[in-house]
Structure 1
Amino acid sequence: MGKSWQVNESESLFTYTNDRNYTFYNPTNHTPPFLTAEVAALNNETLQSYLTTCGQTNFACLYDYAVTGNRQLAVTSGNIVNEARQLHSLSTNRAPTLTYETNQTSTVVEGTIRVMVGQTINIQFNGSDADGDALTYSVNNNEIAGTSINGSGYFTFVVTSSNLNINVSGDVPTLIVQVIDGLASAVVEVKVLMCDCAGNGTCLWDRPLQLGTPSYGVSGGGGAVEIRKDYKRNKFKE
């Protein structure tokens, strides 16, 4: 039964010579080398060397190394197996999801963060993975200083005056939070409005103080303060 796949001599399409006949290429008493037997025949030092090259579970690599002793051949076999495993994982993996409450506090309004210098805000980002894979969170703190996120998706933003000098080419800066399951990722982008009242009153988040620009400012006290899109504070009279 184990050789039911084998083509017999009458079915063979090959032409043989006298010294290289069908029986030569298909010996009936041939027993193929099995991995367990080949590994058992290795001394401990050689086995550890093979395991270092192939790993514990890449049996194609281990088999070729044990049978041929050819490291390059074994590594090539192992790479093919690893690529096949990677493709299988990618084809069956379901990407994680990432959400947060877009109106959870006075500092998060309609999906936009509103913060003033001196504030520390916290937002819970919720990652979920249908496959139960471990999730890793990250945030673009190289672009927006003072931001961090822990392994549970708890985000913290400590706002200082240095944040107002972010070079955003005239655009509102964007917080980018990512969660990854090792293969696929989900990203949430949140606009960040920053204001430095400096004791002059209350930030006017919805008031365009300069026509044609996404400016945010404050009013009260002895006049008003405008925080322009380049985040330089300029005073003007009402």
Structure 2
Amino acid sequence: MSKNGENVAKSVESLKKWSKEKTGVTVSGQVCDISSPASIEGSVKSIDRSLGAIEVLVNAAAINSDKLLFNSSEDMIKDTIETNLMGTIFMCKTVLKHMIRHKKGSIVNIGSVVGLKGNTGQTIYSASKAGLIGFTKSLAKEVAPIGITVNLIAPGFVRTDMTSNIIKPKPEELIPLQRIGSPEEVAEAVHFLANASYITGEVLLCDGGLHLVL
């Protein structure tokens, strides 16, 4: 995260401005290296002091570098797994300490349709997202007796900074709903699962029907 700290800070400032203008809600941010348990612990403690106990955790951090497996460097493989899978595991482990204490909470992990279907050139990314599915379902079983829900959203093509260079020129030829999804539509799915107190261990596809044709 140190290499991308400036980008993260800019994202936080943009979110603060947008939230204040659109909703009137105050937003605060933390720069955190999710591959580091110590960094996560520090951020969670800071949030707990300033905002109170975390009731909803959304794990959305991810990186992707489209390459065939034999062209993938060891560093790229490690970075992808550490960010997409291990980061979520470490984050859940830390935040759950607080949720268990209060006997309530909701965790929503952001996976991908390729974690279910696979995709050429995305072997490592697909592996990291498939791992999230198994992790989500297992963790849901562990914490259900405490009243904590754990679910996963599997988006398809969504227009973000990460996907801007890899989305196909004419997605309508591939996606049944004939358009790329928006971050707002994924956010609506997150909001639904975060408040769905009787749903846990679920994988919710939010892909415009892309899984039907892959």
How high is the TM-score relative to the length of structure 1? 0.17
Greater RCO (Cα-Cα under 8 Å, separation 6 or more): 2
Bigger share in strand:
1
More helix by share: 2
